[in-house]
Amino acid sequence: MTEIGSIRRPVVAGAGTMGVTLARIFAQHGYEVTLWNRRQSSLDRAKERIAGDLAARGLSEEEAALVMARLRYTTDYAVYEEADFVVENIAEDLEIKRAFFREVCQRISPTALLTTNTSGLRVTDVAQGVTHPQRFCGMHWWNPPDLMPLVEITKGAETGQEAAQAVYDLAVSLGKKPVIVRKDILGIIGNRLQYAVMREALHIMAEGAAGPEEIDAAMKYGPGFRYAVLGPLETADLGGVDIFQAVSDYLLPELNADTRSQVLHDLVDENRLGIKTGRGFYDYADGQGEAVRTRRDRLFQKLWEILKEE
């Protein structure tokens, strides 16, 4: 089994938003990393984006050149013959992921670590495409992965503890705050919590109790502010489990339990997909979307600087 200290040839599969950033993260932490993608055009764009990101983050030309020198780009599956660690970031489609790993497992060393950056699929289901599932686990990075500290490492039904611990240690070496998820569940931890909040937010909006501005403000300056320091279970301990039990008895029956959101379906039908189409819950005309991203990244960085030493 490959150990963290012996990882020398990581491969990041997929040159989309996540994959490009992950390749840069590895290179900035001293790894000689290869970014693999089926299409060369995507790799060409990735190289340009990484160079731009390094400049935007204040690296000198010399520092950026050192990072860029650690990066390789290829469409050739032969790269997996020498890989000792793989993190897959291709389409969030079960059959596509399985097919990818079947191809990779024809070439890769039996001691290499394999991971999937799925945001919600069961690792055990993806592992049906893997030859040695004991060395395969989930490694879910949150977007944007260079600014979000959390990495969720999920054990599939056959994942070995040694493999999960090695991936955990790798995440720590990359400056992240990983957690190991002991049971393979859809949505892992973070997305289950996120979508529970989203379902209730959409219900409040559909009921006409509040609009997007009020809902977002209530979350950011109430629970969201608290959750940057305390998790929900720590919050209950500090507030009193008996108090939370009393409130839950009357509030839980009132919470939304729909399995389909008409609000989201209506927005998609109207092509209101958010920043990428210029309108979602909010309007993003005249470049406002990029301003929102820039503000988000700046505040994430400030918050992490405060919290990372805790």
pLDDT at 2: 59
Q: Is there a domain that residue 188 lies in?
A: no
Asked if residue 177 lies in contact with residue 151, where contact means CB atoms within 8 angstroms, the answer is yes
* DSSP-derived secondary structure letter, 281: S
Mind listing the pLDDT tens digit for each residue in 253-291? 999 999 999 999 999 999 999 999 999 999 999 889 999
Which uninterrupted H or E stretch holds 280? Answer: none
Shared-domain flag, residues 139 and 210: no
pLDDT at 3: 56
Shared-domain flag, residues 299 and 228: yes
Shared-domain flag, residues 15 and 142: yes
pLDDT at 4: 52
Q: Is there a domain that residue 223 lies in?
A: yes
pTM, whole model, 2 decimals?
Answer: 0.94
Q: Residue 73 carries which side chain, given as an amino acid letter?
A: Y
Dig out the tokens for 285 from the structure.
């005309």
Dig out the tokens for 73 from the structure.
């780009």
CATH number at residue 55: 3.40.50.720
Mind listing the pLDDT tens digit for each residue in 81-91? 999 999 999 99
Residue in this structure with the two tokens 């005309």, named with its chain if needed:
285
In the predicted model, what is the mean pLDDT of residues 43-56?
96
Shared-domain flag, residues 127 and 229: no
pLDDT at 1: 56
pLDDT at 122: 97
Which uninterrupted H or E stretch holds 233? Answer: helix 232-239
CB-based burial, 162-180: b 16+ in 10 Å, e otherwise? ebbbbbbebbeebebebbb
The mean predicted confidence, pLDDT, of the chain is 96
Q: Is there a domain that residue 186 lies in?
A: no
Q: Which residues pair with 279 in a beta bridge?
A: 274, 283
The proportion of the chain whose per-residue pLDDT surpasses 70, expressed as a percent, equals: 98
SS3 234: helix
Dig out the tokens for 59 from the structure.
């690296």
* DSSP-derived secondary structure letter, 275: G
pLDDT at 62: 95
Q: Rounded distance, CA 44 to CA 88, Å?
A: 19
pLDDT at 288: 94
Q: Is there a domain that residue 187 lies in?
A: no
In the predicted model, what is the mean pLDDT of residues 148-169?
97
Asked if residue 29 lies in contact with residue 52, where contact means CB atoms within 8 angstroms, the answer is no
Shared-domain flag, residues 101 and 171: yes
- The three-point CA angle 272-194-230 to 5° equals 135
pLDDT at 5: 55
Q: List the domain range (segments joined by +) for residue 287.
A: 193-307
Q: Give yes or no for residue 179 having a pLDDT over 90.
A: yes
Shared-domain flag, residues 78 and 113: yes
Mind listing the pLDDT tens digit for each residue in 187-245? 999 999 999 999 999 999 999 999 999 999 999 999 999 999 999 999 999 999 999 99
Shared-domain flag, residues 266 and 198: yes
In the predicted model, what is the mean pLDDT of residues 1-23?
87
Q: Is there a domain that residue 37 lies in?
A: yes
Number of domains in the chain: 2
Q: How many CB atoms lie within 10 A of CB 117?
A: 23
Q: How many CB atoms lie within 10 A of CB 93?
A: 12
Q: Give yes or no for residue 180 having a pLDDT over 90.
A: yes
Domain boundary among 153, 181, 209: 181
